[in-house]
């Protein structure tokens, strides 16, 4: 099967407008005859469900949480990018497009990314009209901040809760349609299977998580807005319930999985504290504006700190190694996420880590506190202020900027970041890979679409900060509502899809068998036991640095783990009723298969690019070596039964509007 990206012809800036004009319309009377299922109610799902319902389609929306408002988009902190150029700093649609392509290390599709940059401006207008309370300046106009990897100020924000405010905006639009009866909302429901009839996605089997019942839902199209799969690493910044099941079931039914190994490891997270930890917490990228990252320059100092014999404040300036400033003088502490993460790992692997596990570095605000303090003292006209006075003034400034983050850090670690440097370490945060989609966001299963983090399309091998929210809302509000028309316009005479068909029977039967197997397994180990082991394999071999030997080992280990999981997992209770352990077992089963495919994908990509770093492909200075000649393509994997034996399809990436360059931040 040849992959057709369906990117429209024409000049880059005209593609989307031309395409929108050419998509067949579905008349209002016919829209009422068409049903659409939306799985997931994060930014992409809520916005898509609301928009499609407004247009007149019948929408059914599903989420596993108790309310659509709780989807994990809510946890996004920093902001959302848009090429508004309100700051008059030379921003434009083209610049946002270019930054995103470059930031993604030239592994994304030009057409899709340009469309994203175009609609970014509408997102801000739309959200303000919905009452999203973005930060404003004293003139009453919208404020902006800067984010990593770019040279303009285009990030709109609502303190450290931008994701929450945007999601609640989309949730309110969704609520309006639920109230009108145009969206039927199914909370505490989880998709268990995609139903394909005559080669088209025509429905899902959903589980009512409260009663344990399986329900058949039919539709003319199914939109998967189910987020990323970072939880394959067990420890990540994802929510506990985030999972790959919906996407993986679609993959098993014929939807190709694209670039699954492209994982974003965020450099500034609170380090792992113990074996019983369940998740990792992010400290916003904005902290790198003022925090300086360092480790001791002498190994014996690092050792003494680990043993609790030395305090970081007692290490003299000349014995500290500000390794990002040393290695990347041009960008310093504000290098992109992939670069900063790898540099931290390099220092810790070399024995300079500073917590008891040896996997942490310092993020230090002492210099910023003194700098801001001196400024404040000057403003206040203080003559010869003491260091203590300057420090107190500086702490106030830092508190105003980052107070909520400092408080969050102190709650988790019981350490005061005003008095001693924060300890941070990289953690899994986002997955650029996902279901392969064409320009219309349709997967290789006709009628099955993927939006937001669930698809692979816009971020290449590395996502820039504040771009995930932009993509989720772009797909849901402004792209999918148009592009589903191309598929649905052929379905106006199809009539209601029956759930009483052999395909639905078979799908439900398969789900029942899987469920019963878990319940009657009589194993000895909890689901978490296996999930944690999967996480360790993934983190060690398919994490920040990968090599051929480790990846081959990972595939073997994951295959063995899968066998052991099915033989020995223990799920108590019954299938009739609320049983979170049972639900977790199903999710972990799919994560195990996905992990194997991720290792396979990483093994086949013999280059280093973005979040994918192969140790064999690096410069003598340890920088990533991309191979555009042989790897400027999207890896789209077709399921064949065993993940490691998936069939590779290549979508060649052509760059007509940007020149491929080596990313340098030195």
In sequence order, what DSSP letters do the residues of 606-642 get, joined into one string? -S-BTTB-BTTSB-TTS-B---HHHH-EEEEEEP-SS
Which of 39, 123, 221, 223 binds other proteins (CB under 8 A)? It is: 123
Q: Give, as ranges, the residues between 459 and 478 that touch other proteins (CB under 8 A).
A: 477-478
Determine if 125 is a binding residue for other proteins (CB under 8 A): yes
Determine if 276 is a binding residue for other proteins (CB under 8 A): yes
Taking the C-alpha atoms of residue 430 and residue 420, their distance in angstroms, rounded to an integer, is: 29
Minimum distance, C-beta of residue 407 to other proteins, in the bound complex (Å): 8
Distance of CA 385 to the CA centre of its chain: 46
Stretch that binds other proteins, among 89-97, 119-127, 213-221, 312-320 (CB under 8 A): 119-127
Determine if 136 is a binding residue for other proteins (CB under 8 A): yes
Stretch that binds other proteins, among 101-109, 158-166, 377-385, 612-620 (CB under 8 A): 158-166
Would strands 448-450 and 221-224 be described as parallel, antiparallel, or unpaired? parallel
Token output for 428 = 């899994």
Which of 30, 92, 153, 175 binds other proteins (CB under 8 A)? It is: 175
Which of 40, 45, 68, 79 binds other proteins (CB under 8 A)? It is: 68
Taking the C-alpha atoms of residue 259 and residue 557, their distance in angstroms, rounded to an integer, is: 21
Measured from the CB atom, is 278 or 664 closer to other proteins? 278
**By CB neighbour count within 10 A (0-12 exposed, 13-18 middle, 19+ buried), where does 147 fall?**
buried
CB 463 within 8 A of CB 218: no
Q: Give, as ranges, the residues between 346 and 405 that touch other proteins (CB under 8 A).
A: none
Measured from the CB atom, is 17 or 619 closer to other proteins? 17
Would strands 183-186 and 58-62 be described as parallel, antiparallel, or unpaired? parallel
Determine if 412 is a binding residue for other proteins (CB under 8 A): yes
Would strands 35-39 and 58-62 be described as parallel, antiparallel, or unpaired? parallel
Measured from the CB atom, is 62 or 637 closer to other proteins? 62
Q: How many residues make contact with other proteins (CB under 8 A)? A: 82
Minimum distance, C-beta of residue 653 to other proteins, in the bound complex (Å): 28
Residue 21 contacts by C-beta under 8 Å, 6 or more apart in sequence? none
Minimum distance, C-beta of residue 179 to other proteins, in the bound complex (Å): 4
Taking the C-alpha atoms of residue 113 and residue 609, their distance in angstroms, rounded to an integer, is: 18
Determine if 133 is a binding residue for other proteins (CB under 8 A): yes
Which of 307, 330, 379, 414 binds other proteins (CB under 8 A)? It is: 414
Measured from the CB atom, is 243 or 259 closer to other proteins? 243
Active-site residue, selected from the candidate residues 337, 546, 605, 626: 337
Which of 179, 330, 379, 400 binds other proteins (CB under 8 A)? It is: 179
Stretch that binds other proteins, among 32-40, 132-140, 461-469, 611-619 (CB under 8 A): 132-140
Determine if 61 is a binding residue for other proteins (CB under 8 A): no
Minimum distance, C-beta of residue 228 to other proteins, in the bound complex (Å): 14
Active site residue 342: no
Which of 4, 14, 66, 645 binds other proteins (CB under 8 A)? It is: 66
Measured from the CB atom, is 140 or 641 closer to other proteins? 140
Determine if 50 is a binding residue for other proteins (CB under 8 A): yes
Measured from the CB atom, is 210 or 648 closer to other proteins? 210
Distance of CA 243 to the CA centre of its chain: 12
Residue 175 contacts by C-beta under 8 Å, 6 or more apart in sequence? none
Determine if 235 is a binding residue for other proteins (CB under 8 A): no
Strand ranges for 139-290 from DSSP E: 155-156, 183-186, 189-197, 200-208, 214-218, 221-224, 257-258, 263-269
Site mask, other proteins, residues 71-110, x = CB under 8 A?
Answer: -x-xx--------x-x------------------------
CB 455 within 8 A of CB 434: yes
Stretch that binds other proteins, among 162-170, 503-511, 533-541, 596-604 (CB under 8 A): 162-170
- Using only the alpha carbons of the chain, give its radius of gyration: 25
Taking the C-alpha atoms of residue 399 and residue 369, their distance in angstroms, rounded to an integer, is: 10
Site mask, other proteins, residues 286-325, x = CB under 8 A?
Answer: ----------------------------------------
Which of 92, 122, 153, 489 binds other proteins (CB under 8 A)? It is: 122
Q: Give, as ranges, the residues between 497 and 556 that touch other proteins (CB under 8 A).
A: 526, 528-529
Minimum distance, C-beta of residue 144 to other proteins, in the bound complex (Å): 11
Determine if 135 is a binding residue for other proteins (CB under 8 A): yes
In sequence order, what DSSP letters do the residues of 261-317 get, joined into one string? T-EEEEEEEPPP--TT-----B--GGGGGT-EEEEESSHHHHHHHHTTSS-GGGS-G
Minimum distance, C-beta of residue 243 to other proteins, in the bound complex (Å): 11
3-state secondary structure at position 234? coil
Measured from the CB atom, is 373 or 476 closer to other proteins? 476
Count, in order, helices (H) and strands (E) of the chain.
19, 19
Measured from the CB atom, is 58 or 444 closer to other proteins? 58
Which of 1, 240, 648, 660 binds other proteins (CB under 8 A)? It is: 240
Minimum distance, C-beta of residue 412 to other proteins, in the bound complex (Å): 7
Q: Give, as ranges, the residues between 572 and 631 that touch other proteins (CB under 8 A).
A: 572-573, 577-578, 580-581
Minimum distance, C-beta of residue 119 to other proteins, in the bound complex (Å): 7
CB atoms within 10 A of CB 408: 18
Measured from the CB atom, is 125 or 563 closer to other proteins? 125
Q: Give, as ranges, the residues between 180 and 199 that touch other proteins (CB under 8 A).
A: 185, 187
CB 255 within 8 A of CB 649: no
Determine if 126 is a binding residue for other proteins (CB under 8 A): yes
Determine if 54 is a binding residue for other proteins (CB under 8 A): yes
Taking the C-alpha atoms of residue 224 and residue 575, their distance in angstroms, rounded to an integer, is: 25
Stretch that binds other proteins, among 24-32, 126-134, 192-200, 593-601 (CB under 8 A): 126-134
CA quadruple 414, 418, 420, 423: dihedral sign = positive
Scan for tokens 């379905």, then name that residue. 491
Measured from the CB atom, is 75 or 310 closer to other proteins? 75
Residue 351 region by backbone torsions, left for phi larger than 0, else alpha for psi between -120 and 50, else beta: left
Scan for tokens 């280093």, then name that residue. 608
In sequence order, what DSSP letters do the residues of 540-598 get, joined into one string? HHSSSSB-HHHHHHHHHHHHHHHHHHHHHB---S-SSS--HHHHHHHHHHHHHHHHHHH
Minimum distance, C-beta of residue 49 to other proteins, in the bound complex (Å): 10
Minimum distance, C-beta of residue 355 to other proteins, in the bound complex (Å): 12
Q: In three state form, how does the secondary structure of 484-506 look?
A: HHHHHHHHCCCCCCCCCCHHHHH
Residue 52 contacts by C-beta under 8 Å, 6 or more apart in sequence? 36, 38, 59, 480, 481, 484
Which of 176, 298, 306, 401 binds other proteins (CB under 8 A)? It is: 176
Helix axes 245-252 and 580-604, enclosed angle (nearest 10): 60
CB 324 within 8 A of CB 381: no
Active site residues: 337
């Amino acid at each position: 099967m040849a992959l057709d990206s369906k990117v429209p012809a024409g000049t880059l800036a005209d593609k989307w407008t031309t395409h929108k004009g050419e998509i067949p319309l579905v008349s209002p009377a016919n829209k009422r005859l068409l049903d659409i299922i939306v799985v997931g109610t994060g930014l992409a799902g809520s916005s898509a469900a609301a928009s499609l319902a407004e247009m007149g389609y019948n929408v059914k929306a599903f989420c596993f949480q108790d309310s659509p408002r709780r989807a994990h988009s809510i946890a996004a902190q920093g902001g959302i990018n848009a090429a508004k150029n309100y700051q008059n700093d030379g921003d434009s649609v083209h610049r946002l497009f270019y930054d995103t392509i470059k930031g993604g290390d030239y592994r994304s599709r030009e057409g899709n990314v340009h469309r994203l940059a175009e609609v970014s401006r509408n997102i801000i207008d739309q959200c303000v009209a919905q009452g999203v309370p973005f930060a404003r300046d004293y003139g009453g106009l919208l404020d902006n901040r800067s984010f990593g990897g770019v040279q303009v100020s285009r990030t709109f924000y609502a303190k450290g809760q931008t994701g929450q405010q945007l999601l609640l905006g989309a949730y309110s639009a969704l609520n309006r349609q639920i109230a009108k009866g145009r969206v039927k909302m199914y909370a505490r429901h989880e998709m268990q299977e995609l139903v394909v009839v005559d080669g088209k996605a025509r429905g899902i089997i959903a589980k009512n998580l409260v009663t344990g019942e399986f329900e058949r839902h039919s539709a003319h199209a199914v939109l998967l807005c189910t987020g990323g799969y970072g939880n394959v690493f067990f420890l990540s910044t994802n929510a506990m319930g985030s999972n790959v099941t919906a996407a993986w079931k679609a993959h098993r039914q014929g939807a190709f999985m694209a670039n699954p190994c492209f994982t974003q490891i965020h450099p500034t997270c609170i380090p792992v504290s113990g074996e019983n930890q369940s998740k990792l917490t992010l400290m916003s990228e904005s902290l790198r504006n003022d925090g300086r990252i360092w480790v001791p320059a002498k190994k014996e100092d690092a050792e003494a700190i680990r043993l609790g014999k030395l305090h970081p404040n007692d290490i003299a300036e000349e014995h500290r190694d500000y390794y990002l400033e040393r290695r990347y003088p041009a960008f310093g502490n504000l290098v992109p996420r992939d670069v900063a993460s790898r540099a931290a790992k390099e220092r810790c692997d070399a024995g300079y880590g500073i917590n008891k596990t040896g996997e942490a570095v310092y993020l230090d605000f002492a210099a910023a506190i003194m700098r801001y303090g001196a400024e404040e003292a000057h403003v206040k006209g203080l003559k010869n202020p003491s260091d203590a006075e300057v420090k107190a003034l500086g702490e106030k400034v830092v508190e105003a900027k980052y107070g909520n983050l400092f408080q969050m850090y102190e709650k988790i670690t019981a350490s005061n970041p005003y008095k001693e440097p924060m300890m941070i370490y990289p953690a899994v945060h986002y997955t650029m890979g996902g279901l392969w989609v064409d320009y219309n966001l349709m997967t290789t299963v006709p009628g099955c679409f993927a939006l937001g983090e669930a698809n692979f399309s816009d971020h290449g091998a590395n996502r820039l900060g504040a771009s995930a929210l932009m993509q989720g809302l772009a797909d849901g509000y402004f792209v999918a509502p148009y592009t589903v028309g191309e598929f649905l316009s052929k379905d106006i005479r199809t009539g209601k899809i029956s759930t009483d068909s052999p395909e639905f029977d078979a799908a439900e039967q398969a789900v029942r068998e899987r469920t019963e197997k878990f319940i009657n397994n009589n194993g000895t180990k909890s689901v978490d036991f296996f999930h944690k082991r999967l996480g360790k394999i993934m983190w060690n071999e398919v994490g920040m640095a990968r090599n051929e030997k480790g990846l081959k080992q990972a595939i073997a280990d994951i295959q063995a783990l899968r066998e052991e999981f099915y033989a020995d997992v223990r799920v108590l209770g019954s299938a009739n009723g609320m049983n979170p352990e049972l639900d977790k077992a199903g999710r972990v089963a799919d994560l195990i298969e996905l992990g194997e495919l991720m290792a396979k994908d990483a093994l086949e990509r013999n280059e280093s690019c973005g979040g994918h770093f192969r140790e064999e492909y690096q410069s003598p200075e340890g920088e990533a070596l991309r191979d555009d000649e042989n790897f400027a393509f999207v890896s789209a994997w077709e399921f064949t039964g065993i993940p490691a034996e998936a069939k590779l399809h290549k979508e060649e990436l052509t760059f007509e509007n940007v020149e491929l360059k080596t990313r340098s931040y030195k």
